[in-house]
């Protein structure tokens, strides 16, 4: 399925979005979105897995990331969620399963709160639903650095080290180079818009209203997020929680086998 990928440009709320589709056209739709400073390429292995299982996989490059266009102005998390809805509308898909990680998981909470009628299920990975001061503040320095240099290059090394840790990067040079290239290719407006959206993230008091079947997944080594997501799971009535051992912020990349098991348990529960 990896060689049979359709590419479309779809007008979203924030910009023109690059969308990639694979798997049977009549398969159950699964939309996948990614982290800040990444792209839809981070889901390559999972897209092949799901397409081979008969799903219609739809991956979206977030505004200013990958091959999506550069947004004209700063945007909100609500608008990132609305981008996903715009893609569903353009593809005539009434409802879909949604898989989002980090930034994509954050906007996924927005989908669950605002656009539940478009969802079959949610699988949200390594994400939180709010941005208290200690979470929001570090993004100011990162934004200032990108704007000063006119590039996301100064952010690449510290970001990859936060995601994977130095030992993993040294022992997996192909992952290091690939994600370094993707992060370097992110536009400054795309990064800044996404960072500002993260700073204004404010769904925590509303996630208790989510009735969409939900699975929360997190890497065991991803800072405070295992504890944060475990608490979120107690707020969402129809939800389950999974920790990926020995994984960081992108468990689908550094522990793909264990992540894929959790992914398929979700779809066995809610789709198969």
Identify the CA nearest to 12 among candidates 188, 152, 190: 190
In a domain, 272, yes or no: no
Percent of the chain with pLDDT over 90: 98
Name the residue with higher pLDDT: 201 or 1. Answer: 201
- pLDDT level of residue 147 (50, 70, 90 thresholds): very high
Write down the pLDDT at residue 180: 98
Here the tokens at position 54 are 């008969």
pLDDT of residue 1 exceeding 80, the answer is no
Helix (H, G, I), strand (E, B) or coil at 201: coil
Q: Are 179 and 38 in contact (CB under 8 A)?
A: yes
What is the CATH classification number for the domain harbouring 35?
Answer: 3.40.50.1820
Question: How would you classify residue 165: left for phi > 0, otherwise alpha for psi between -120 and 50, otherwise beta?
Answer: left
pLDDT confidence of residue 271: 81
Element (H, E) at 244: strand 239-244
Residue range of the domain that includes 132: 6-262
Residues near 72 by beta carbon (within 8 Å), at least 6 away in sequence: 15, 189
Residue 255, pLDDT above cutoff 70: yes
pLDDT higher than 50, residue 225: yes
Q: Are 25 and 53 in contact (CB under 8 A)?
A: no
Split into its structural domains, the chain has a count of 1
**184-205 average pLDDT score:** 98
202 backbone dihedrals φ, ψ, rounded to 5°: -155, 55
Mean residue pLDDT of the chain comes to 97
The sign one gets for the Cα dihedral 221, 225, 231, 232 is negative
Mean pLDDT calculated for residue range 264-271? 94
Segment 2-12 shows an average pLDDT of 89
* Domain contains 230: yes
Number of residues written out for the chain:
272
269, part of any domain: no
Q: Residue 228 domain-assigned?
A: yes
The verdict on residue 153 lying in a domain is: yes
DSSP 224: T
User: Does 138 map to a domain?
Assistant: yes
The tens digit of pLDDT for each residue in 159-186 reads 999 999 999 999 999 999 999 999 999 9
Q: Is 152 domain-assigned? A: yes
pLDDT band at 272 (very low <50, low <70, confident <90, very high): low
Is residue 160 included in any domain, yes or no?
A: yes
With 0.85 as the threshold, say if the pTM is over it.
yes
Whether pLDDT at 40 is above 50? yes
In angstroms, what CA-CA distances link 224 with 21, 123, 161? 34, 19, 16
């Amino acid at each position: 399925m990896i060689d049979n990928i359709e590419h479309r440009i779809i007008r979203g709320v924030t910009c023109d979005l690059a969308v990639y589709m694979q798997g049977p056209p009549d398969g159950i739709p699964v939309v996948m979105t990614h982290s800040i400073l990444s792209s839809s390429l981070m889901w390559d292995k999972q897209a092949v897995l799901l397409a081979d299982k008969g799903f219609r996989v739809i991956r979206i490059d977030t505004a200013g990331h990958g091959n999506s266009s550069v947004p004209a102005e700063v945007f909100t998390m609500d608008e990132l969620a609305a981008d996903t809805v715009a893609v569903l509308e353009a593809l005539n898909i009434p409802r879909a399963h949604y898989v989002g990680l980090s930034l994509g998981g954050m906007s996924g909470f927005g989908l669950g709160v605002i656009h539940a009628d478009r969802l079959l299920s949610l699988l949200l990975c390594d994400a939180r639903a709010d941005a208290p001061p200690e979470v929001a503040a570090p993004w100011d320095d990162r934004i200032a650095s990108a704007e000063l240099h006119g590039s996301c290059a100064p952010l690449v090394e510290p970001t990859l080290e936060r995601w994977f840790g130095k030992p993993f990067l040294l022992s997996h040079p192909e992952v290091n180079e690939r994600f370094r290239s993707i992060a370097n290719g992110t536009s400054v407006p795309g990064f800044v818009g996404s960072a500002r959206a993260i700073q204004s993230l404010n769904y925590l008091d509303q996630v208790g209203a989510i009735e969409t079947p939900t699975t929360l997944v997190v890497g065991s080594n991803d800072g405070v997020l295992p504890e944060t997501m475990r608490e979120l799971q107690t707020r969402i009535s129809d939800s389950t929680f999974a920790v990926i051992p020995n994984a960081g912020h992108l468990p689908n990349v550094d522990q793909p086998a264990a992540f894929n098991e959790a992914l398929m348990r979700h779809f066995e529960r809610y789709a198969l």
